């Protein structure tokens, strides 16, 4: 009977592990399938195209050039390799300001003709029109539109997913914002976390340790939105007033709140590693004449170096993947900056803020999934590094 029960339990565990592995694999495949679809999406909004006069010899525009043309940052065709002439951007809705409603006929049957007339009389026009009403004439030429490229995504300097006619999905501001906030958070949390870990492991009395250890571990269970609310109400005003800023929602505020959130992980893992140092090694060090502090930094810390390193990596992973708290205190400005006093936007915050509003299956939706792929890869790298470090010989440094 006992043998049968063990077989049943073994089968259930194997089944549970198989299902869990399969679910994780399917989620990963779905994530990358949706994300990689971005690079087969046109750089102009789906269902729309750009139209030129047939005499215009410009053969193609990048998404950034299209945006700058319609924002009047590029005003002459000569800047785009065409013949000199002032560019005339034209959006579809402008046609309704040129003609009365009845001129378009029943069910807008004459609308393509009116658009054709507008393009014919304007040699320097670039018209952003829905394909449904696109004019079909030898005097009108559809501008070929390329798909969104890897360079547009990974090297782009602007994240403007709702820009028309050409949305921009440059992730450099998001990557830099994520790294800026995370790196500064770790630089703040690391010395504080190691200091507290050394105190709990080597200096604190049993009563103090019995009270502080559970309290620190409890901090790791507080929802991130609570940390975000604390940061918004307490840290943001302090940052604003201390540095005389116009707004307190900055990279510095995000770094401070992330440092607070990473501290429990760093403290707990590092303290456990230090506590596992054999008592015989401490006693041998003291017997040879070393002081208590010499024993700590020459014996305990080298012995537990792998555990301490793992705590740092896990802390970095917590900082990179955090969403709600960062979303609430960093200002969410997708700009390229290295200043802690500017607003920034991180990858997790972007996904949380925009996924609910992105049309399913569209380029914006796919771009957010691609951000999830990048975050997945970063987190996986952190986990692998942590696993490798934790498996190192703990006494290698002694």
39-96 per-position pLDDT tens digit = 988 889 888 999 999 999 888 888 989 999 999 999 999 999 888 999 999 999 999 9
* Nearest one of 344, 353, 352, 354 to 247, comparing CA atoms: 344
pLDDT computed for residue 393 by the predictor = 52
Averaged pLDDT, 263-282: 89
Listed in order, the ranges of the chain carrying CATH 3.40.190.10 are 48-146
Alpha-carbon torsion 94, 100, 102, 105, what sign? negative
Averaged pLDDT, 198-216: 87
94-138 per-position pLDDT tens digit = 999 998 888 888 888 899 999 999 999 999 999 999 999 988 888
Out of 146-155, 167-176, 316-325, pick the least confident.
316-325
Reading the block at residue 287, the tokens are 């017997």
- CA dist., res. 283 & res. 203, Å (int): 15
Listed in order, the ranges of the chain carrying CATH 1.10.3720.10 are 171-392
Residue 245 burial by CB count (10 A; 0-12/13-18/19+): exposed, middle or buried? middle
* Nearest one of 210, 197, 379 to 300, comparing CA atoms: 197
Helix or strand or coil: residue 100?
coil
3-state secondary structure 192-236: HHHHHHHHHHHHCCHHHHHHHHHHHHHHCCCCHHHHHHHHHHHHH
Cis peptide before 165 (omega within 30 of 0): yes
Residue 153 has pLDDT above 90, yes or no: yes
Indicate the pLDDT class of residue 241, thresholds 50, 70 and 90.
very high
- CA dist., res. 267 & res. 209, Å (int): 12
Reading the block at residue 164, the tokens are 């028309």
Residue 206 has pLDDT above 70, yes or no: yes
Residue 374 has pLDDT above 70, yes or no: yes
pLDDT computed for residue 77 by the predictor = 93
- CA dist., res. 27 & res. 61, Å (int): 36
189-216 b/e with 16+ CB inside 10 Å = b? bbeebbebbbebbbebeeeebeebbeeb
% of the chain at pLDDT higher than 90: 46
Averaged pLDDT, 215-229: 88
User: 2 or 369: whose pLDDT is higher?
Assistant: 369
Characterise 231 by phi-psi region: left (phi > 0), alpha (psi -120 to 50), beta (else): alpha
pLDDT computed for residue 168 by the predictor = 93
pLDDT computed for residue 287 by the predictor = 87
Residue 387 has pLDDT above 80, yes or no: no
Which residues, listed in sequence order, are joined to residue 130 by a DSSP beta bridge? 48
Mean pLDDT computed over every residue of the chain: 88
Q: How far is CA 256 from CA 150, 190, 312, in A?
A: 33, 12, 16
% of the chain at pLDDT higher than 70: 97
Which overall architecture, per CATH, does domain 48-146 show?
3-Layer(aba) Sandwich (3.40)
Residue 397 has pLDDT above 60, yes or no: no
Residue 396 has pLDDT above 70, yes or no: no
Q: How many CB atoms lie within 10 A of CB 270?
A: 29
Averaged pLDDT, 247-255: 93
283-295 per-position pLDDT tens digit = 888 888 888 888 8
Would you say 267 and 200 are in contact if contact means Cβ atoms under 8 Å apart?
yes
Which overall architecture, per CATH, does domain 171-392 show?
Orthogonal Bundle (1.10)
């Amino acid at each position: 009977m006992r043998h049968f029960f063990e077989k049943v339990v073994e089968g259930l565990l194997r089944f549970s592990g198989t299902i869990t592995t399969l679910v994780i694999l399917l989620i990963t495949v779905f994530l990358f399938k949706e994300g990689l679809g971005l690079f087969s999406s046109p750089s102009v909004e789906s269902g729309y195209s750009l139209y030129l006069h047939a005499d215009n010899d410009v053969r193609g525009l990048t998404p950034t050039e299209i945006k700058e043309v319609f924002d009047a940052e590029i005003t002459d065709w000569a800047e785009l390799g065409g013949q000199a002439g002032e560019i005339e951007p034209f959006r579809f809705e402008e046609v309704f300001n040129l003609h009365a409603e009845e001129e378009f006929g029943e069910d807008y049957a004459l609308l393509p003709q009116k658009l054709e007339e507008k393009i014919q009389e304007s040699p320097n026009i670039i018209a952003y029109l829905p394909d449904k009403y696109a004019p079909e004439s030898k005097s009108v030429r559809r501008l070929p539109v390329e798909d969104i490229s890897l360079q547009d995504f990974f090297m782009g300097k602007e994240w403007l997913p709702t820009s028309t006619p050409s949305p921009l999905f440059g992730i450099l501001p998001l990557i830099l914002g994520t790294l800026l906030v995370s790196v500064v958070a770790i630089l703040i949390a690391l010395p504080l976390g190691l200091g507290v870990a050394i105190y709990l492991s080597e200096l604190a009395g049993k009563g103090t340790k019995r009270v502080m250890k559970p309290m620190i571990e409890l901090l790791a269970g507080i929802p991130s939105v609570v940390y975000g609310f604390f940061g918004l109400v307490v840290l943001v005003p302090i940052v604003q007033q201390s540095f005389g800023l116009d707004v307190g929602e900055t990279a510095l505020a995000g770094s401070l709140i992330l440092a607070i959130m990473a501290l429990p992980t760093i403290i707990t893992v590092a303290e456990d590693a230090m506590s596992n140092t054999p008592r015989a090694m401490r006693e041998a060090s003291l017997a040879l004449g070393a002081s208590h502090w010499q024993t700590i930094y020459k014996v305990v810390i080298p012995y537990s170096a792998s555990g301490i390193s793992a705590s740092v990596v896990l802390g970095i992973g917590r900082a990179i993947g955090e969403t709600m708290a960062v979303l609430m205190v960093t200002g969410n400005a997708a700009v390229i900056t290295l200043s802690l006093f500017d607003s920034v936007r991180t990858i997790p915050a972007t996904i949380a803020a925009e996924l609910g509003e992105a049309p399913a299956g569209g380029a914006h939706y796919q771009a957010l999934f691609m951000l999830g792929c990048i975050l997945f890869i970063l987190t996986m790298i952190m986990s692998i590094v942590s696993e490798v470090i934790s498996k190192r010989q703990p006494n290698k440094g002694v």
